[in-house]
């Protein structure tokens, strides 16, 4: 019997993409509830040729729901995920609220699918977008060589900040080109024609929370508690798809040929790597698609037994909505 599904945050950027993934992947849906704040309640949204009305999220919303996909921010998740879970619903949560809880699995279906079945609190966490895309590139290599250390810089699109991020970039680009003053609402500095080396807030050790997610989530997903990660996360004036430059050091001796062959037959990730022909991936190559692309792979010159590579992925899809729907598919197909 097809599950009864709810989307919390149905009108947000990720919610809309979740709806599209359910539709295009023919996810079996018994019934679908679209939940959002009172402000969005009453909106009409199309799903499989029918119009559905967005309902206001309340404590009663989850009666009879089997799977709830949450993407409405950490505060909403902290309050409503336990309510949904208590009503017998499995929550797949896109916020960072539960990711580090020991009894909440943190799942990338291509990497640790088995973790999804051990969810004693009825909550499964979806990792942060940058972590997912980076690990999609690193996991096939980890399987061959054993990952030890990661040194990364991310180039994160403005849609990672939601619809407002896109609007801010667009408005500022127009203002700069037309010679008007730039107005800042979303970011502390101008994003148009600029780069901002801060994503999320700073922590005591000088790293931002976004940078620490790479460390803590990477360790949990790969079951590598000793993994070393250093990372700088940067907002870039790109609409969609995050890119990450990664240097990865391994336990076993690495060579390029084996590294390249590690991607053969791996779902969700592909090599796009032929510099001699001008072939390497850009954020536009992954935008609106399901595949993360890896290129510029080479033996690192500075770090022993390490590879340096570049990976791009659509952070709204594989970094959020698609990954959440794939987790739901694991549960349904079992
Ligand atoms: C970003 N971490 O700011 C986000 C989206 N999940 O790009």
User: pLDDT band for position 183 (50/70/90)?
Assistant: very high
CA–CA distance, 51 with 65 (Å, rounded to integer): 19
Measured in whole angstroms, how far is the alpha carbon of residue 253 from the centre of its chain? 30
Is 231 in the same domain as 203? Answer: yes
The predicted structure's pLDDT at residue 42? 97
Q: Is residue 129 annotated as part of the catalytic site, yes or no?
A: yes
Mean pLDDT of 121-133: 98
Q: Please, how many CA atoms are within 13 Å of residue 108, restricted to the half-sphere of its CB?
A: 28
Q: Is residue 119 annotated as part of the catalytic site, yes or no?
A: no
Is 193 in the same domain as 83? Answer: no
Is 244 in the same domain as 296? Answer: yes
CA–CA distance, 229 with 220 (Å, rounded to integer): 13
Is 151 in the same domain as 90? Answer: no
Q: Please, how many CA atoms are within 13 Å of residue 190, restricted to the half-sphere of its CB?
A: 12
Nearest protein Cα to ligand 1, atom 1: 160
Mean pLDDT of 263-289: 97
User: pLDDT band for position 205 (50/70/90)?
Assistant: very high
Nearest protein Cα to ligand 1, atom 7: 160
Tell me how crowded residue 254 is: count the other CB atoms within 10 A of its CB.
Answer: 21
CATH number for the domain spanning 38: value is 3.40.50.720
Our answer on whether the CB atom of 199 is closer than 6 Å to any ligand 1 atom is yes
For residue 329, report the distance from its CA to the centre of ligand 1, in Å: 24
Nearest protein Cα to ligand 1, atom 5: 160
The predicted structure's pLDDT at residue 146? 98
Q: Which residues have C-beta within 8 Å of that of residue 261, sequence separation ≥ 6?
A: none
For residue 123, report the distance from its CA to the centre of ligand 1, in Å: 21
- pLDDT digits over 84-108, tens only? 999 999 999 999 999 999 999 999 9
Percent of the residues in the chain that have a pLDDT greater than 70, as a whole number: 100
Our answer on whether the CB atom of 160 is closer than 6 Å to any ligand 1 atom is yes
For residue 179, report the distance from its CA to the centre of ligand 1, in Å: 30
Structure tokens at 198: 């801060």
Is 250 in the same domain as 270? Answer: yes
Mean pLDDT of 199-217: 98
For residue 146, report the distance from its CA to the centre of ligand 1, in Å: 27
Q: Which of 129, 231, 233, 292 is catalytic?
A: 129
For residue 77, report the distance from its CA to the centre of ligand 1, in Å: 16
Is 121 in the same domain as 135? Answer: no
Burial class (CB in 10 A: 0-12, 13-18, 19+), 231: buried
Chain mean pLDDT for the chain: 97
CATH number for the domain spanning 151: value is 3.30.360.10
CA–CA distance, 89 with 108 (Å, rounded to integer): 20
Rg over alpha carbons for the chain, rounded to the nearest Å, is 20
CA–CA distance, 215 with 223 (Å, rounded to integer): 12
Is 240 in the same domain as 324? Answer: no
The predicted structure's pLDDT at residue 295? 98
For residue 289, report the distance from its CA to the centre of ligand 1, in Å: 18
Is 69 in the same domain as 141? Answer: no
The predicted structure's pLDDT at residue 236? 98
Is 192 in the same domain as 75? Answer: no
Our answer on whether the CB atom of 134 is closer than 6 Å to any ligand 1 atom is no
Is 268 in the same domain as 138? Answer: yes
Mean pLDDT of 317-324: 98
What is the pTM (predicted TM-score) of this model? 0.97
For the chain, the domain total comes to: 2
Our answer on whether the CB atom of 129 is closer than 6 Å to any ligand 1 atom is yes
User: pLDDT band for position 211 (50/70/90)?
Assistant: very high
CA–CA distance, 68 with 129 (Å, rounded to integer): 19
Task: Choose which residue among 77, 95, 161 to substitute to test ligand 1 binding: the one with the highest number of ligand atoms within 8 A of its C-beta.
Answer: 161
- The domain in which residue 170 lies consists of 131-315
Nearest protein Cα to ligand 1, atom 3: 160
- pLDDT digits over 166-179, tens only? 999 999 999 999 99
Our answer on whether the CB atom of 128 is closer than 6 Å to any ligand 1 atom is yes
ipTM above 0.85, yes or no: yes
3-state secondary structure the chain: CCCEEEEECCCCHHHHHHHHHHHHCCCCCCEEEEEECCCCCCCEEEECCEEEECEECCCCCCCCCCEEEECCCHHHHHHHHHHHHHCCCEEEECCCCCCCCCCCCECCCCCCHHHHHCCCCCEEECCCHHHHHHHHHHHHHHHHHCEEEEEEEEEECHHHHCHHHHHHHHHHHHHHHHCCCCCCCCCCCCCCCCCECCCCCECCCCCEHHHHHHHHHHHHHHCCCCCEEEEEEEECCCCCCEEEEEEEEECCCCCHHHHHHCCCCCCCEEECCEHHHCECCCHHHHCCCCCEEEEEEEECCCCCCEEEEEEEECCCHHHHHHHHHHHHHHHHHC
- pLDDT digits over 43-87, tens only? 999 999 999 999 999 999 999 999 999 999 999 999 999 999 999
Is 108 in the same domain as 138? Answer: no
Phi, psi dihedral angles at 45 (to 5 degrees): -130, 135
Give yes or no for a contact between 279 and 300, defined as CB atoms under 8 angstroms apart. Answer: no
CA–CA distance, 85 with 105 (Å, rounded to integer): 14
Our answer on whether the CB atom of 131 is closer than 6 Å to any ligand 1 atom is no
Our answer on whether the CB atom of 214 is closer than 6 Å to any ligand 1 atom is no
315 annotated among ligand-binding-site residues: yes
Mean pLDDT of 26-44: 97
Is 63 in the same domain as 10? Answer: yes
The predicted structure's pLDDT at residue 133? 98
């Amino acid at each position: 019997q097809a599950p009864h599904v709810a989307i919390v945050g149905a009108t947000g950027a990720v919610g809309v993409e979740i709806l599209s993934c359910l539709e295009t992947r023919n996810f079996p849906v018994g019934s679908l509830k679209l939940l959002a704040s009172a402000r969005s309640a009453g909106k009409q949204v199309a799903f499989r040729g029918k119009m559905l009305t967005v309902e206001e999220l309340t404590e009663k919303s989850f009666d009879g729901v089997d799977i709830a996909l949450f993407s409405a921010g950490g505060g909403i998740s902290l309050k409503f995920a336990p309510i949904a879970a208590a009503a017998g619903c499995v929550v797949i949560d896109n916020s960072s609220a539960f990711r580090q809880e020991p009894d909440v699995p943190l799942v990338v279906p291509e990497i640790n699918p088995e973790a999804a079945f051990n969810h004693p609190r009825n909550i499964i966490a979806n990792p942060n977008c940058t972590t997912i895309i980076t690990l999609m590139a690193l996991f096939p290599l980890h399987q061959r060589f054993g990952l030890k250390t990661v040194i990364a810089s991310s180039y994160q699109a403005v849609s990672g900040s939601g619809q407002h991020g896109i609007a801010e970039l667009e408005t500022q680009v127009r203002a700069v080109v037309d010679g008007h003053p730039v107005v800042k609402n979303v970011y502390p500095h101008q994003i148009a024609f600029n780069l901002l080396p801060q994503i999320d807030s700073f922590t005591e050790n000088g790293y931002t929370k976004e940078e620490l997610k790479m460390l803590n989530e990477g360790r949990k997903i790969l079951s590598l508690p000793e993994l070393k990660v250093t990372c700088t996360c940067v907002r870039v004036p790109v609409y969609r798809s995050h890119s990450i430059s990664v240097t990865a050091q391994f336990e076993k001796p690495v060579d390029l040929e084996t590294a390249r062959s590690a991607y053969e037959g791996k779902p969700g990730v592909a090599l796009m790597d032929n510099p001699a022909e001008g072939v390497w991936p850009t954020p536009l190559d992954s935008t609106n698609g399901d595949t993360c692309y890896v290129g510029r792979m080479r033996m690192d010159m500075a770090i022993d037994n390490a590879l340096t590579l570049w990976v791009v992925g659509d952070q709204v899809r594989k970094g959020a909505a698609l990954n959440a729907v794939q987790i739901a598919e694991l549960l349904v197909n079992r």
